Amino acid sequence: MTVCKTFINVQLKKGQPYKKAELIHDIGGFEYMASTYYDPDRDELYTFFNKDNKNWENIYEENTRTLRFFHRKFTTLEDAPAWERAKTRHVFLRRKNQNNDGYEYLGIAKGEKRVSVGGHDERHFAIQ
């Protein structure tokens, strides 16, 4: 789900941890459902992934700088909307055993690739 919000002007650094409230104006408490936020003024997306997620498998491959994700139960994924694929997407990942209030900034991804692996559709973001 993509939610429109205004981003706070923060110079992001790869590998640094950030809290959603440090990046997004008027964050509404614990917004567990929203994983992608869109700022119309900047025309950018911020997408947050949790390594410990009961429904999604989120795998970051350090050597190829690719974030792969698929649903554990549903085998078919739809593409992200075309307007989202054309935007600059800032990608954040909360790794296993990482402090619950922080997400590591991985970098920027543009577009996505959808791949079928072992009967599951995966979406891949190439991180710059």
Asked if 112 contacts 80 with a C-beta cutoff of 8 angstroms, the reply is: yes
User: What is the extent of the structural domain holding 57?
Assistant: 2-126
pLDDT score, position 90: 97
For 28, the 3-state DSSP assignment is coil
pLDDT score, position 1: 65
pLDDT score, position 31: 61
The number of angstroms, rounded, from the C-alpha of 94 to the middle of its chain's C-alpha atoms is: 10
Counting Cβ atoms within 10 Å, is residue 51 exposed (0-12), middle (13-18) or buried (19+)? middle
* C-alpha to C-alpha distance for 117 and 86, rounded to whole angstroms: 25
pLDDT along the chain (128 residues), means of 10: 86 92 79 78 92 88 94 85 90 81 91 86 94
pLDDT score, position 29: 63
Asked if 127 contacts 105 with a C-beta cutoff of 8 angstroms, the reply is: no
pLDDT score, position 33: 57
Number of domains in the chain: 1
Please give the structure tokens belonging to residue 114: 């959808």
